[in-house]
Amino acid sequence: MSQTPLPPTLHDALVQILGPSGVLTNPADTEAFCVDWRALYHGHCAAVLRPANTEDCAKAVALCHAHNVPMVPQGGNTSMVGGATPDSSGHAVVISTTRMNQIHNIDHADLTMTVDAGVTLKAAQDAASAQGLLLPLSISSEGSADIGGILATNAGGNNTVRYGNARELALGLEAVLPDGNVLNLMRKLRKDNTGYALRQLLVGSEGTLGIITQAVIQLQPAPRSRETALCAVESPQGALNLFAAFRKQDPSAIHAFEFMSGTSMALVNSLIEGASLPLEAPAPAYVLVELASPRADDSLRSLMEDVLGSALEDELVTDAVLAESESQRQSLWMIREEHAEAQKRAGASVKNDVSVPLAAIPEFIADATKACEALIPGIRVAPFGHIGDGNIHFNLVQPEGADPTAFLAQDHAMMDTVAEIVRKLGGSFSAEHGVGQLKTYMMPSWRGGAELQTMRRIKAALDPQDLMNPGKVLPPA
């Protein structure tokens, strides 16, 4: 199926609210909004609506609600699970937040930023940084992912190990509910125990309960010193031992602790221009560690050198390079941030964004690698991720030269194989990317019984017509 035109009365009413450039119906204009970042899902939509503020968004949603038109909220469209892609019916409208892009206020007393949903994470970080503050959430997609998207997915990323996920940063929130009502929770209070924590219900709801339009985000003082190192280690256990060594000295100094397998690093080195390995020789695994502090002294340098010195002596780390300048630091981070892109260039891949208790990571990686290699000979097992949070992107890249379509036809077999090992180790099949449409089928077996039933009741209470991002998160009843 393809596009299903909006009823003319609805179309005209939407144009009156949003203006002609706020209602896109030409397939050449809407196409990019109907494909996900990985190009796994190719949907269709009746229109893309682009409100510029909450009021217009609420009016547009109320109209769609009255006409029974499904709505798919979309921010930067970087979802890894097809969360922002409409289905193929062509009935839905995509509601894009990209025109809601004002930063309203940075409050130095409360250390907060009041910001529209459509501001990209990078723009919000830059605005905080220009005022000597830090927005402590960082992900490789931050140039496109926006505040609404990161809250709707409860994004994690590189600094979760120090500051928590997006949920921990959201002090206040505003959302348009599926019937067009505006839920205004734009408070900036650290303490506010007055009834149910509705903003936390919206955070991580992946666009199924409403459209986030504004937020109050907690900031931090900007670090005045940073130390960044890329280390070669022999194994995931080696990476964890190094994490423990840093944590023992000063857990609050660890801003990021990222794991990269040798296989994934080799893809980056060979497929990304300017990303050659800055170490003597390839290793089985790597860690990118960043320490940061609001103090401007050289205590972090000593901490980094002490821990790495002992680790090299004990052969826990086999080689390491420390960034000596901001540009070297950025080069090291570039190598880490290009893993998703390198895997995309290497062919079809199946992504398992899982978490397990820290101590179980070595067993998980070993068992899952063995099981996947037995399932598909020649498969390239290329894990990387936020090991300090127990979060591994256990990604599986097609065998070289294999047919991508045939490889992807086995995606559920691969995902289920990995998930069963995760389950045995007490982990989660969805650590930070969310459920989207990719993993809804797994919900009954993982979140069945009262948990799934409670989710369905909440959804039915707020969106009885199932209009807000249908087909995402919750499987058909």
> Which residues contribute to the site for ligand FAD (CB under 6 A)?
37, 72-80, 83-84, 97, 117, 139-141, 144-146, 148-150, 152-153, 155-157, 206-207, 211-212, 340, 432-433, 436, 469, 472
User: What's the CA gap between 189 and 184, in Å, rounded?
Assistant: 14
Sorted by sequence, the CB contacts under 8 Å of residue 236 that are 6+ apart come out as 259, 285, 361, 362, 365, 387
Per-position DSSP letters for 277-308, written without gaps between them:
--SSS--SEEEEEEEEESS-SSHHHHHHHHHH
Tell me the residue length of the chain. Answer: 477
Contact by Cβ (8 Å): 399, 379: yes
Quick one: which H or E segment has residue 453?
Answer: helix 449-462
Instruction: List Cα–Cα distances, 188 to 95, 100, 350, 360, in angstroms.
Output: 27, 20, 40, 38
Contact by Cβ (8 Å): 205, 296: no
Strand order across the beta sheet in which 23-24 lies: 23-24, 47-49, 93-96, 71-74
Instruction: List Cα–Cα distances, 299 to 57, 133, 333, in angstroms.
Output: 49, 21, 22
In the complex, minimum distance from the CB of residue 99 to ligand FAD, in angstroms, rounded to a whole number: 12
In the complex, minimum distance from the CB of residue 436 to ligand FAD, in angstroms, rounded to a whole number: 6
In the complex, minimum distance from the CB of residue 140 to ligand FAD, in angstroms, rounded to a whole number: 4
Q: CA torsion sign, 401 to 406 to 411 to 413?
A: negative
Contact by Cβ (8 Å): 203, 154: yes
In the complex, minimum distance from the CB of residue 36 to ligand FAD, in angstroms, rounded to a whole number: 7
In the complex, minimum distance from the CB of residue 64 to ligand FAD, in angstroms, rounded to a whole number: 14
Q: How many other C-beta atoms can be found within 10 angstroms of the C-beta atom of residue 31?
A: 16
| Token pair recorded at residue 172 | 């206040």
Considering beta carbons, is residue 238 or 434 the nearer one to ligand FAD?
434
In the complex, minimum distance from the CB of residue 380 to ligand FAD, in angstroms, rounded to a whole number: 18
In the complex, minimum distance from the CB of residue 318 to ligand FAD, in angstroms, rounded to a whole number: 27
Considering beta carbons, is residue 293 or 469 the nearer one to ligand FAD?
469
| Token pair recorded at residue 39 | 């190009």
CA atoms within 13 A on the CB side of 183: 19
Smallest CA-to-CA distance from 95 within 13, 174, 14 is with 14
Residues 106-136 as b or e (16 or more Cβ within 10 Å = b): beeebbbbbbbbbbbbbbbbebbeeeebbbb
Considering beta carbons, is residue 10 or 202 the nearer one to ligand FAD?
202
User: What's the CA gap between 147 and 79, in Å, rounded?
Assistant: 13
In the complex, minimum distance from the CB of residue 386 to ligand FAD, in angstroms, rounded to a whole number: 7
Considering beta carbons, is residue 311 or 342 the nearer one to ligand FAD?
342
In the complex, minimum distance from the CB of residue 236 to ligand FAD, in angstroms, rounded to a whole number: 18
In the complex, minimum distance from the CB of residue 115 to ligand FAD, in angstroms, rounded to a whole number: 12
| Token pair recorded at residue 431 | 């650590």
* Nearest residue to ligand FAD on Cβ basis: 149
| Token pair recorded at residue 69 | 């038109």
Considering beta carbons, is residue 117 or 303 the nearer one to ligand FAD?
117
In the complex, minimum distance from the CB of residue 461 to ligand FAD, in angstroms, rounded to a whole number: 17
User: What's the CA gap between 381 and 424, in Å, rounded?
Assistant: 20
User: What's the CA gap between 303 and 305, in Å, rounded?
Assistant: 6
| Token pair recorded at residue 439 | 């993993």
Considering beta carbons, is residue 52 or 316 the nearer one to ligand FAD?
52
Q: In this structure, which amino acid lies at residue 268?
A: V
In the complex, minimum distance from the CB of residue 193 to ligand FAD, in angstroms, rounded to a whole number: 25
